[in-house]
Chains A and B, each alone.
Chain A
């Protein structure tokens, strides 16, 4: 479970304060596929980053009772001056998993071949995503956070990820997905939340959430 206890967040911009989330208390089930729907600029990514612990709420607390991945996507997180292998080693060390096992998994999953030993700065965004997803899938998280807002991964890799996540779902891992892509939302998720006007409105049925989000 991920517990939101009176969590609030806003941004101060030159145009004034913008509320991402009014004080919200709810518990997100972590054994489900959860979609977060919201228009551009509604603060979906910020919400995801708060759940991941990259950003701190202004008020309230987010408590994770299971292991939660970092926000997966096609940007962020990796040190661009280090090679794919070195990044994997670093992440293995902070997450207390066997370095060589993780690297073996990443090599097999992301199929970067010789690029594993090239600096991440030379990667295309697709390769970056492959590395990031590969490393996180190699560490058995209970709950994966995926930001597909900037996703451009190729078809082949998306299918591979879909398979890997489907397998995780069978092992009762969950995921939370932020996406515009209706197809991937339907593929990965079964419940949904709509974020708008600073409120997070949860639905126990994904179709209901999608319909609400579009039609009101």
Chain B
């Protein structure tokens, strides 16, 4: 027989100290122990009347359980099996009642429910199980019937209360909980009776006294409330609450000065007790002393703006004042303060004089770029390679459709040997290097604005990372399609690859600049999408993707030449075909556009840096 089995048989035989000894020797008292051993130990602690240790261990095991949605009761059962298989029926019932009662007192009725329902199911005649199960139902659903159920078994449950209550409250807790229930049901008279019984049984319990005092005030029995609350001594933790309630009662019987003095005293003890200031404000309001009421309510507002009842008190005050409340009322002029030594500006701090290392700066920027690129790739292309396939498939579909149309209408190749080559040299660069980059950059600003929460991430890094990612993706797509065509019909000529690459890169930079403007604009002007679409169409139409410079009338060409993308597509074709040369275009214009665009982009980013922030 191993040690665990030995402990289990000791538990079954009711020899709890022996079981405790064996389990403790196994190290079950330490959090490192296995869940089952730890739960067995915890149950033993409960039965050995070391309740605190037992509950703590159960909560600790529940915290590290893989499935935290599961109730603690289920977790315990799945660790050690049904309690009856482990313990005698009485002991099992005791464990259920104690732990259920614990959760009830901790206001975790959800957790208590499983324990107490099981206790009730195990013995439907057990008055404690009936009482606690009904209490749990009331806590969860506010059932009136549950309160009746509690009342019926009250006396019988009290006779056996030591089976469940032994941390705090004792038998009085049975009356106290009925008092709480009736208070919630607004049966103040009944609540007062139960609470008075609870106070009579256990006069030392301040919580019961406080609630009774509160109920008595609401019933208008101010004298009784004052008498009841007076015995709570100044050093007690609950004195502040008792004194506050007493002040309210005193005020009601006309002892205004005494009430205010008491509230001032409480404010000294508990400077952040918003309720004290609210009560003070109410007293001054009723006295018509708006100035002091403002001071008090401003304090209440500063300590807890969400305090129930504060809003309506401030409303009353503002009607009396005829203006908004000054929430800083009572605070002296801040300009009168000298900065204390500990906060004095230290501009001689050696760290201030250190120059940032250029290399470290560049390394940090590169890290951020890499992080953003990896992150965006993950979001965009999360599900295996389908997203990436789309980057390749989309332009192929466009090209295939246009090629099919050209074939159907019998359109002769504009340049080169086939329509396919014409499309790959014009439409493909436009789709991949301009449109793709533009829309990615423009969308990224709105999508990624929450990344600016991290100081390391700047808008420029976000834009640049998106450009780089799309640019590299497009390069791969371009090489695959051009290479694929070359393998397919062996027609690749590519007279000047360098020109092609330069033109493609320049096109993507234009896409980045335009995308940035629209991306930033959309943050400020909501309807900008429409303008983006219109400008997009114009750029597309005048881009030369579907015609070449030589084909169109000079007047149209005059306008097309204003589009830098038109120049760049023509350069792609110049570099692509040995037989094609367009003399209308030049490098100066698109490169100047890029230079001016980049300067404008940086200036705009600087200008809007206060508006482009993480939400």
Give 19 CB contacts A-B under 8 Å.
Answer: A1-B349, A29-B342, A29-B343, A39-B328, A56-B610, A65-B352, A70-B454, A76-B615, A91-B454, A93-B368, A111-B68, A191-B342, A198-B334, A199-B335, A202-B339, A202-B342, A214-B302, A215-B271, A215-B299
Residues of A within 8 A of B609 (CB): 56
A68–B301 Cα distance when bound, in Å, is 31
**A-B pairs, 8 with minimum CB distance:** A199-B334, A53-B455, A65-B351, A93-B371, A216-B330, A182-B272, A202-B343, A77-B453
Q: Which B residues touch A52, using CB under 8 A?
A: 455
Q: Write the chain B residue with the least CB distance to A113.
A: B66
Does A54 contact B613, Cβ atoms closer than 8 Å?
Answer: yes
Chain B contacts with A in 347-402, Cβ cutoff 8 A: 347, 349, 351-352, 364, 367-368, 370-371, 374-375, 378-379
How many Å lie between the Cα of A53 and that of B352 in the bound state?
A: 17
List the A side residues contacting B375 at CB < 8 Å.
79, 82, 86, 90
Residue of chain B at shortest CB distance from A41: B327
Complex interface bits, B293-313 against A, C-beta within 8 A gives 1, otherwise 0:
000000101111100000000
- In the complex, which residues 38-67 of chain A have their Cβ closer than 8 Å to any Cβ of chain B? 39-41, 49, 52-56, 58, 63, 65
The answer to whether A204 has its CB under 8 Å from any CB of chain B is yes
Shortest Cβ gap from B293 to chain A (Å): 15
**Closest CB-CB distance, A35 to chain B, in whole Å?**
12
B64 CB within 8 Å of chain A? yes
* A interface: dominant SS: mixed
Closest chain-B Cβ to A175's Cβ sits at a distance in Å of: 16
Cross-interface CB contact of A196 among B334, B367, B614, cutoff 8 Å? B334
Does A204 lie within 8 Å of B614, measured CB to CB? no
Write the nearest CB–CB distance from A130 to chain B, whole angstroms.
11
> With A and B bound together, what is the CA distance between A216 and B334 in angstroms?
10
Question: How many angstroms between the C-alpha atoms of A133 and B610 in the bound complex?
Answer: 27
The answer to whether B378 touches A156, judged by C-beta atoms less than 8 angstroms apart, is no
Q: Is residue A161 within 8 Å, beta carbon to beta carbon, of the partner chain?
A: no
Is B412 engaged at the interface, CB distance under 8 Å to the other chain? no
Tell yes or no: A18 within 8 A of B by CB.
no
By a CB distance below 8 angstroms, the chain B residues around A113 are 66-68
Q: Which residue of A lies closest to B59 (CB)?
A: A156
Q: What is the CB-to-nearest-CB distance from A99 to chain B, in angstroms, rounded to a whole number?
A: 10
Neighbouring B residues of A65 by C-beta, 8 Å: 349, 351-352
In the complex, the answer to whether A201 meets B334 with C-beta atoms within 8 Å is yes
Q: A77-B614, A199-B334 are in contact. Are A54 and B455 (CB under 8 A)?
A: yes
Contacts of A89 in B (CB 8 A): 374
- Which residues from chain A contact B305 at a C-beta distance below 8 Å? 39-40, 180
Q: A93-B368, A180-B305, A204-B340 are in contact. List 7 more A-B contacts (CB 8 A).
A: A49-B613, A77-B450, A79-B450, A204-B342, A210-B271, A211-B271, A212-B331
**Is B63 in contact with A156, judged by CB distance below 8 angstroms?**
yes
Total residues of chain A contacting the partner, CB 8 A? 62
Task: Note all chain A residues with C-beta closer than 8 A to B454.
Answer: 70, 77, 91, 94
Interfacial chain A residues near B371, Cβ < 8 Å: 90, 93-94
Q: Which of A194, A199, A216 has the most CB of B within 10 A?
A: A216
Which of B277, B335, B367, B613 is in CB contact (< 8 Å) with A55?
Answer: B613
Residues in A133-163 with C-beta less than 8 Å from chain B: 156
How many residues does chain B have at the interface if contact means C-beta atoms less than 8 Å apart?
Answer: 57
Q: Which residues of A contact B141 (CB under 8 A)?
A: none
- Within the complex, what minimum Cβ distance (angstroms) separates A109 from chain B? 12
**A71 pairs with B453, CB closer than 8 A:** yes
User: B553: CB under 8 A from chain A?
Assistant: no
Q: Give chain B residues whose Cβ lies under 8 Å from the Cβ of A210.
A: 271-272
The complex places the Cα of A116 from the Cα of B454 at a distance, in Å, of 21
User: Which chain B residues lie closer than 8 Å to A182 at the CB level?
Assistant: 272, 303
Q: A70-B453, A77-B450, A197-B328 are in contact. Are A213 and B349 (CB under 8 A)?
A: no
> Do residues B457 and A27 form an inter-chain contact, with CB atoms below 8 A?
no
Given the known interface contacts A77-B453, A211-B271, A214-B272, the answer about A58 and B610 at a Cβ–Cβ threshold of 8 Å is: yes
* Alpha-carbon gap, A196 to B336, bound state (A): 13
Residue of A nearest to B448 (CB): A79
Name the CB-closest residue of B to A37. Answer: B302
Cβ of B344 within 8 Å of any chain A Cβ, yes or no, is yes
- The docked-state distance in angstroms from the alpha carbon of A196 to that of B301 is 13
Q: Decide yes or no: A5 and B345 within 8 Å by CB, A70-B454, A196-B331, A216-B332 being known contacts.
A: yes
Q: How far is the CA of A185 from the CA of B495 in the complex (A)?
A: 72
B340 neighbours in A (Cβ, 8 Å): 202-204
A105 at the interface (CB under 8 A from B): no
Counting CB contacts under 8 A, is B456 at the interface?
Answer: yes
What distance in Å separates the Cβ of B343 from its nearest Cβ neighbour in chain A?
4
Is B323 in the interface zone, CB < 8 Å from A? no
Q: Are A180 and B332 in contact (CB under 8 A)?
A: no
Assess the B272–A26 pair: CB atoms within 8 A: no
> Judging by beta carbons under 8 Å apart, are B301 and A40 in contact?
yes
Task: Say yes or no: B66 contacts A82, CB within 8 Å.
Answer: no
Residues of chain B contacted by A216 (CB below 8 angstroms): 330-332
Min C-beta distance of B291 to chain A, whole Å: 14
Closest to B301 in A: A39
Q: In angstroms, how far is the closest chain B Cβ from the Cβ of A61?
A: 10
B-chain residues with CB within 8 Å of residue A169 when the two chains form the complex: none
A171: interface (CB < 8 Å): no
B235 within 8 A of A: no
Closest partner residue, chain A, to B327 (CB atom)? A39
The answer to whether B15 has its CB under 8 Å from any CB of chain A is no
User: Which residues of B are found within 8 Å of A170, using beta-carbon distances?
Assistant: none
Q: How far is the CA of A25 from the CA of B330 in the complex (A)?
A: 25
